[in-house]
Structure 1
Amino acid sequence: MIRDAFPPLIRQIQNIAFLTGAVGLGLSFIGLYLQPQQFFISYLFAYLFWIGISLGGMVIVMIHHLTGGAWGFLIRRPLEAATRALPLMVLLFIPLLFGLSDLYIWTHPEDVAHKSVLHVIQKKQEYLNIPFFAVRAVIYFVIWLGIAYWLNKWSSEQDQKNQLELVLRLQYFSAIGAILYTLSITFAGVDWVMSLVPGWYSTIFGFLLGSGQMLSAMAFAIIIAVSFSKTKPLSAIFLPGRLHDLGNILLAFILLWTYLAFIQYFIIWSENLPHEISWYLPRVGSSWKWLGIFLIIFHFAVPFIVLLSRRAKRTNSILMGVAVAVVIVHLVDAFWLVVPSLRSQGFQLYWTDFTVPFGIGGLWLATVLWQLQRKPLVPIQAPGAEEAMEHGR
């Protein structure tokens, strides 16, 4: 019955996404044979982007449980569906374990020529080693899968019975889950991204990574919500006021990401210490700087200016266009976080930089759309849902 409530087009998109993912990954594994290091570089940034939407969606769902608000009923189901794609992302993480030696210099310190870098690696050897790296990854996934499981389980129970006990349980669990997410994404950011340059560190990098995940997840949720705005029961609560709220939240995440990115750069630029600038040197001292300028313009300035308009935030096509642009540009940001550390000579593109994101993204999107059809688009029985249908103009 639930599937029949969805337009047939969603199943066609799901099939196309799955086919695109299968073909994309199939072509990409040819690159694994021809250029293994470039394949794993492409795989890492693409993986970080797609799992980021699932994790960011998990955080936004927890924020909604903690704060309430009618805005959450428009996007809760798409974000919950995104969290249920995490088991797929666990499987897709496995190929990265076979590419650690192609990505991380600390896996073969005997080849390090620079004495200062070698000294840093030796000091961190008890932490930066392959077995402990894999163990920590397992811990992260256990935390994320556990949070996603209980959020979805209790949300499904709300569809059957509207009890205050479930509301309080989700609130308390979300408070704990938000803390666990903050800690785990910080350590994951250190392991998966910062350790590409072992001598570099930033105390706010985990927050920067997390803010980007929430930004991309919100943009994705807006795309789905607008796409199904005429489908019942979502159409009953898809009102200009609710759309305006989503636009404001998207703008807030853009500002948060911009603030963290700027303050990190500003502090490191002010101190100008060799071990701190090592991550930025290839990004500002070569042709990579143009990609940084691109991000300043299209990841901040353009969506910021557009979303200042009340009309833009209340117009389906405009807000959806901004959301699509944010998702695409955030993929470029994931590329910028990873690739210059490994292609430090200057801006370079390989064909796997296109096939791998399509491959992982196709499988991820097909899974999310499949999961989305398994529940009603709106948690009707949840507290506040009825009020959301009556207000918002």
Structure 2
Amino acid sequence: MANMAQAVRMALHYGETHLGVTDVFGEDVGPPLGGVFTATQGLRTAWNTPLDERGIIGTAMGIAYAGGRPVCEIQFCDYAFNVLDMFKIAGNQRWASGGGYDMPLVVMTPNGAGIRGSLYHSHSFESWASRLPGWKVVMPSNALDAYGLMLAAIKDPNPVLVLLPKALLRARDTRLIPGEPADADELSRMIDAPVNDRAGWEPQWPDLGDHTVPIGSAALVREGTAGTVISYGRPLPVCAQAADELARDHGRTFDVIDLRSIFPYDWDTISKSVLKTGRVLIVNEDTEVTNFGEHLLRRVVDEHFYDLAVRPRTLMGKHVPGIGMNQNYEVNSVPQLGDVRTALWDLATEAA
């Protein structure tokens, strides 16, 4: 029952042991810290870089060009804006070479709100990332999927961006990663570095197994008939909770789709659900202008206009430059449980 940070760490260990990962690096990624969220503690191939996002991505591209298989981290996605042009170049590589040169590059970065990170530690990056042709982009909402998506990213010959919801990095899964001990305290004793003196500390890795979540496959986490809600990352558990409450209190059930992959995304799962329910809500916390959710809404309208019972809708973050540190600013800037519950009730009860 690992949390998401532990799941990422175990996936990276599996990657460097079985999948040929040559380097794991970034700001404070190596010892002694092992990452701001501890996602890289104890890894054999982990090392520290200067505070230079352009240097990190450029180094990762060079390692990948030379035949290595790097995983690098941008400490917070807010600083990925510094390297948009380099992301574009990395995304061009396999296409421009007609598949002759792989770019097996993984970039992981914490994403989104929920930790009161204020202006420079609360952005969402998925809408920007969806505009980078050549990249695959994933965002898990639970630890098991984080493990499986990271393994899929490592195996992929294309550059893959793994967006990790900051607010869920300490959330525990109810399911076990293959090889993980069932006792959460035992897992912590095995792989979590001591808080104080880490000199000489070595992790005792469990005998982990392969669990790969294919990039581009969504998960149907709730089933129902009153409507379809599509989400990913931090808002996904909120959507599932809101759906559970409306099912319990009002007998209205919903399909809740965890997209998991921003690109490529699982249109088949979305389409089948829309055909079944005829009512669609798309939820994320990125800012609402030119939001990735708007692309999904446009495609729903284009391909299912005559299948819809009511207008499809989105619930997204406010279009503000950043999120203030004050909790009132944060909860009023991105969707919360009450917002999702209201939006789902309105979706289900609007007359056809």
TM-score (norm 2): 0.24
Structure with greater proportional strand content? 2
Relative contact order higher in (CA < 8 Å, ≥ 6 apart): 1
Q: Which structure is larger by alpha-carbon Rg, 1 or 2?
A: 1
TM-score (norm 1): 0.22
